[in-house]
Structure 1
Amino acid sequence: MLLIKNGKILTMAGVSYENGCILINNGKIVKVSEEISEMECGASEVIDASGLLVLPGLIEAHCHIGITEEKKGFEGDDCNEMVEPVTPYIRAMDGINPMDSAFHNAVCSGITSVMVGPGSSNVVGGQFAFIKTDGRNIEDMAVLVPAAMKIAFGENPKTNYNDMEKMPTTRMSIAGMLREELFKAFQYKKEKERNKEDFVPDFRKECWLPVLNGEIPLKAHVHRTDDILTAIRIANEFGLKITLDHCTEGHLVADEIKKSGFPAIVGPSLASRNKIEVQNMDFKTAGILNKKGIKVAITTDHPVTRIQYLPICAGFAAKEGLGIEEGLKSITINAAEICNVSHRVGSISEGKDADIAIFDGNPMETFTNCIYTIINGRVLYDRFRDSEKNEKQQ
């Protein structure tokens, strides 16, 4: 058993403790209370969090960690299959390298889980996976697989296929190709339901069933207002769930997004305005959407912005109108709810995974340090221990 005591605990579940305790056993949170007796609980390991802030492990809701590996160039870049515009059958799980050095950066920053998947060069990019940031075997790291189906609108697929002189080269053809693929997927679903005994599965269509059955959302790469509204339109036409990822100009159509009921994953706002469709990028977007009642998470879109700056991105959004509480929610419970994993992670609650990050201040402030990172009840990062190691090595 692991006991965390004397910490200021923000559970992100509507309760906080100025001087509280958390008891962990077999990778799960078994008790959260103002006081837990060290002697009575029989803890074999104790962390004294006096003067520290205890939060649920931080969550990155949209990134390409392990697929676009750091320091590897082409050999380590498996983010986009850029020769065929519709590839729903490819799986992030088959491209994530847990040895990517960015996973270590994530753990040392208090980021305990991530939503990872293909990039945005294709109209349909493939299946995302929600995983923990610690491990060597990707299957052991998995929390939800598949977790979403990536689709993309606008500049990226247009640019990629225009260079090849093939469709799609316009926003009209992007939408048309997506509609065609969804129509065929629904036809496949109906045929399978009609002919259960004699049905022959199609590998390229079977992957759509979790989306069509409402189990996972479409994950839409959308920056401009017209792309945001087209994504909403198509999702409504087919009765599908969707998340609006990046949502750069979302503040310009906040009322329409609110009406749709779909959540937004905003960012990367700590990046260059290097494309036409991100000319209106601003940290104020998240706050404007939140004030309309839209559920918001923050993303670095790693490696566009490096993953360890996730809490800083949330801090800039908090400064520009999102506020401190909602800023923290955007990288904890809101991210978990948008990614459909809030039953496992996102808050410090009894029965949930023991994924916890402990800081010496608010993680959205630049001078704050992550002191401990705990994943599945194991202390994966201890700043004091690691500092001692480094000193000895020097």
Structure 2
Amino acid sequence: MIVIKGGNILTMAGDIIENGSILIENGKIKEVGKNIVAPLDAEIIDADGKLVFPGFIDAHCHIGLFEDGIGFEGEDGNERVEPVTPHLRAIDGINPMDVTFKEAYEGGVTCVATGPGSANVIGGEFAVIKTYGNRVDDMLVKAPVAMKIAFGENPKRVYNEQKKSPVTRMATAGILRETLFKAKLYMEKQQMAEGDISKMPEYDIKMESMAKVLRKEIPLKAHAHRADDILTAIRIAKEFDVDITLDHCTEGHLIVDHLIKEQKPAIIGPSLTDRSKYELRNLTFETPGILQKAGMKIAIMTDSPVIPQYYLPLCAGLAVKSGMDEMEALKAITINPAEILGIDDRVGSIEVGKDADIVITEGHPLKDVNFKVVKTIINGNVVLNNN
């Protein structure tokens, strides 16, 4: 049992609680407020003069799948030999021993959505995991959480090098449509069989994976930078009546009027990087603020290892510098990604009943480049003690 006392608590679920307290028991938040009476056997954490946040959440990265400084042996995020691989699962490729996990929670990031890269039209299943642990199964929050798909330059480049489709945006969209249609037929055949095994279609693990999308159990997670790619992703999602998140959404600020009509959540970034390819020519930290002010639900991401995980708060701070409201930027790395990923019943805010994922800082992570994470708590355990 732990009691955090004396800090200014930014719950992300209401007003800031000044000089507040949090009671943690069995890995969960049991009580939040002022003047909480600490049980005699409780460990007391003095947060006087410090800020207390819910653990930061990165809604799109590849941590554990592209290991730090290793090269090919540590690259397990892209199966670059065929463009349709929905049956691949992030949980089978993540190495929780990679040093970037430690760096993540040292920077206050306690929860991430991680999964396949963008080489393939359909890359596979993302998972949400905590950043502390040595076995993925014990770190899981939700798996699968989304099905990764990709538009634009990446699949074109990868398969042009192999001299096979897709080498155009038309082919990328066509392959995605074809796969969704095949999955729809596969499901219809299963339904028509009415449980008769002799009439069931031959088992197809790829179609089983895509069926989760068509049943709206998970959304498509669409890698799309350019405005036309973003709108193609939306077009196909509407065509098949499936859920979708717009990941990267680099040119989202150029088509705000269209995106507002569609009301699909956007996960924006990585913005703290160079314009390494043509579709990033309109990259700007103004995008999150423009979309948020227009009424969209947005999250900010690192795309780690593109940007190191511990720079997630810095990315939110730079969005504020470029015009985004400070509290909205905090929401973009806490409660908003939790809601977009469908895990807000467990994380994203400091509320009774949620996982005790908490970050205590000296200095404000969005305002002070020299801010310090004093303590990181994940599932009620102090995993970083940096007094």
TM-score bin, normalised by smaller chain: over 0.9
| 1:58-73 correspondence runs (5 A) | 58-73=56-71
* Greater mean alpha carbon deviation, residues 206-215 or residues 155-164: 206-215
- CA distance in 1 between counterparts of 2:339 and 2:4 reads 25
Q: Is the 8 A contact 1:7 1:19 kept in 2?
A: yes
> Residue type of the partner of 2:146?
A
Moved more, 153-162 or 182-191: 182-191
Shift of 1:211: 1.2
Inter-partner Cα distance in structure 2 for 1:197 and 1:377? 48
What is the TM-score normalised by the length of structure 1?
0.96
Amino acid across the alignment from 1:201: Y
Matched ranges for 1:51-130 at <5 A = 51-130=49-128
Q: Secondary structure of the residue that 1:290 maps to in structure 2? A: helix
SS in 2 for 1:207: helix
Tell me the CA shift for residue 379 of structure 1: 0.2
Q: Tell me the residue number matched to 1:157.
A: 155
> What's the counterpart of residue 142 of structure 1?
140
Deviation at 1:209, TM superposition (A): 2.3
CA distance in 2, matches of 1:293, 1:154: 26
Q: Alpha carbon RMSD of aligned pairs, Å?
A: 0.9
The residue number in structure 2 matching 1:25 is 25
Instruction: Measure the CA separation in 2 of the matches of 1:164 and 1:115.
Output: 30
2:308 equivalent among 306, 315, 323: 306
On the 8 A contact 1:29/1:353 being kept in 2, the answer is yes
Kept after mapping to 2: 8 A contact 1:265/1:297: yes
1:352 corresponds in structure 2 to: 354
Q: CA deviation at 1:15?
A: 2.9
Distance (whole Å) between structure 2 residues aligned to residue 8 and residue 84 of structure 1: 51
Q: Which amino acid aligns with 2:382?
A: V
1:166-245 equivalences in 2 (<5 Å):
166-195=164-193, 196-198=195-197, 199=200, 200-245=202-247
Secondary structure in 1 matching 2:212: helix
Q: Paired residue for 1:368?
A: 371
Tell me, which stretches of 5 or more residues in structure 1 are unaligned?
Answer: 385-394
**TM-score normalised according to structure 2 size:** 0.97
Q: Write the deviation string for residues 229-251 of structure 1: whole angstroms up to 9, x where unpaired.
A: 00000001111110100000000
Contact 1:7 1:18 in 2 (8 A): yes
**How far 1:144 sits from its partner (Å)?**
0.4
Cα distance in 2 for residues equivalent to 1:278 and 1:167: 23
Q: Distance in 2 between matches of 1:153 and 1:46?
A: 50
Q: Tell me the residue number matched to 2:280.
A: 278
Indicate the residue corresponding to 2:12 in structure 1.
12
Counting only pairs closer than 5 Å after superposition, residues 253-264 of structure 1 correspond to structure 2 as: 253-264=255-266
Q: Is the 8 A contact 1:3 1:43 kept in 2?
A: no
One-letter amino acid matched to 1:209: A
Q: Are residues 1:132 and 2:130 paired?
A: yes
The offset of 1:43, in angstroms, is 4.2
Residue identity matched to 1:321: G
The amino acid across from 1:31 in the alignment is E
Q: Matches of 1:360 and 1:255 in 2, distance apart?
A: 40
CA distance in 1, matches of 2:14, 2:278: 40
Question: Which residue does 2:42 correspond to in 1?
Answer: 44
Q: Deviation at 1:207?
A: 1.0
Contiguous gaps of at least 5 residues in structure 2: none
Cα separation, 2, equivalents of 1:13 and 1:279:
36
Percent identity, aligned pairs only? 56
